[in-house]
Structure 1
């Protein structure tokens, strides 16, 4: 640990208790001088980092390759060598949803192509306008103008459709075409459209965004960003619900709700970590050429990751709770079905609320 100069005084500067040796037995603070040499800042940082680094990678290793062992070890009281469950979940959650934004993606190329297409359309439109003015002045003939338009692949009908600010929503064969909020209200009052009445707030927000001048692509991008920002919230909110279902399926005297909470934090940390691994693999694959060997390796890797992720819960459950293999499988299947429905429902509700609050 630290090599800072120790104080001669035996009173803890943090809590005031008597310090017989190097660390306070009451609060754990090191009894060192408040002022140290300048190099102490760097040596202390390196010591703390390497200590946490070893603790972190040891935790990740057990979390990935020893299903349930990390939870069992923690509940036995052996906690010093591993990252605490809450800190582990928060850290993995952060890197899972933050790191992919820093990674390059082949989609950036597609975005560049889309921008170039939009720019080409805009430039073509700028060329057409002065040509039409020359036609009105009698300088150019109609045939000449039509020839130029065909060469630029621009037609008045297509331009009108692109600039038209109307919304089309489809649900089970029902087509709704609305241009403003008043028309939306009148349409949703019709008896044949009552089945989609619950979508009215989302449709209302869609019409408002269209009236502000946003394109379908921009609205879709905003919606995707909303889902990405909502997902970690939905997972975090669902943690105690998941632990509650575990509590229902196990002996209440033997297992406390706290125990189920530790299992839940470790299991969801694994799910987030596996999601991050899949994202990184997918990003790498997007840059690889379309060769059979690369496609085969990618397919086999994703299948293996999916199977391992699916079986992880059963292995972790059996290791933690010490149940028989058959009991663990039955409980695992029931818990998986119940929690899958619950998590998807909560995610849809939060996404729906987030869409309504788009601005």
Structure 2
């Protein structure tokens, strides 16, 4: 039950994060509700649907029905543009990407909102189905190190929450909005919740040490932080894998800036395509890959064979890349095919870079 509850929390966190990125883009407003003459938050005279001084909406719901409306829109993100976006993302990704780039923003879910929701949902599904990224617990010494490290992280986050709570009280006393700091507090609390769950999982088992690098000699790359990360991985794989899971979850957005330069290289001589175009292309593509992972994981859990799941996971991404390249950049079949080969190669390189960054960053230091 703990895993399922945590997974539901992750999905809701992802939906709320996506909602924060795209709060009301293109949504119709119900004009049947009466507006107050002055903003209920700061008292400024209203001139439209929003206060031009503090940004608060002119109409505030105060009914039970409005609560369910807010849940549906704010958490589940169910709205017309979701159902317009997902079919195009699956079957005609190039058309979706091109239309969004060309200005149809209100009609579709933004690429970043879709990506955030996909990432949180993917990790939630993996966690709910028992797919935590850790190995059997190590020796008593390794267990003690793991417990100390995670306890230190929780304590640091608790101190951050305390300081932010003081800051929030000061903002509230001045009558300023606390929405931003509320989101920061919720994010840190979510990280602590996940840390406690993973710590219980890691320290709740106990078998033998297993070096994920096998019996190979120590690797020397010349990059000190990376070599240190590999050494720590060998010494305590459980702790290293826990940190990699946590940071892959937190820093998955880094795949976007890592990937964009590779796509830019394929069209560097075409001045009509800009970096923004490539960023939209990459983010929608990553959003599709995360949602594909969610669907395949659930299908595998309910009986789809591993062979079929892996076959789809290996064959579908290149097909999707090909269709998205053709539609987004107006390529002919052969040009799209050659660039798909290059893009698939770049995707593997980007994942390797991301993995190495996770090893080398301070989380493993």
TM-score by length of 2: 0.57
> Which among 349, 354, 359 is matched to residue 346 of structure 1?
354
Give 5+ residue unaligned stretches, structure 2: 1-28, 137-205
Aligned to 1:277: 295
Give 5+ residue unaligned stretches, structure 1: 112-161, 177-192, 210-218, 286-293
Aligned to 1:231: 248
Q: What is the distance in 1 between the residues matched to 2:209 and 2:119?
A: 39
Q: What is the distance in 2 between the residues matched to 1:266 and 1:105?
A: 25
Greater Cα radius of gyration, structure 1 or 2: 1
Q: Is the 8 A contact 1:314 1:328 kept in 2?
A: yes
Q: What is the distance in 2 between the residues matched to 1:165 and 1:263?
A: 43
Number of aligned residue pairs: give it. 262
Q: Is the 8 A contact 2:125 2:297 kept in 1?
A: no
C-alpha spacing 1:312/1:163, structure 2 compared with 1 (3 Å)? closer
Q: What is the distance in 2 between the residues matched to 1:267 and 1:168?
A: 31
Report 1:295-310 matches (<5 A).
295=305, 299-310=307-318
Q: Is the 8 A contact 1:243 1:261 kept in 2?
A: yes
TM-score by length of 1: 0.58
Point out the more displaced range, 6-15 or 328-337. Answer: 6-15
Query: Any idea what SS the aligned residue of 1:52 has?
Result: coil
C-alpha spacing 1:44/1:321, structure 2 compared with 1 (3 Å)? same
2:34 corresponds to 1:6: yes
Aligned to 1:102: 128
Question: Shift in Å at residue 226 of structure 1?
Answer: 2.7
Question: Shift in Å at residue 305 of structure 1?
Answer: 4.4
> Which among 228, 238, 256 is matched to residue 274 of structure 2?
256
C-alpha spacing 1:12/1:75, structure 2 compared with 1 (3 Å)? farther
C-alpha spacing 1:277/1:29, structure 2 compared with 1 (3 Å)? same
Q: Is the 8 A contact 2:318 2:344 kept in 1?
A: no
Q: What is the distance in 2 between the residues matched to 1:48 and 1:41?
A: 10
RMSD (CA atoms)? 4.4
Q: Is the 8 A contact 1:230 1:354 kept in 2?
A: no
Task: Considering Cα pairs closer than 8 Å and 6+ residues apart, tell me whether 1 or 2 has the greater RCO.
Answer: 2
Aligned to 1:56: 82
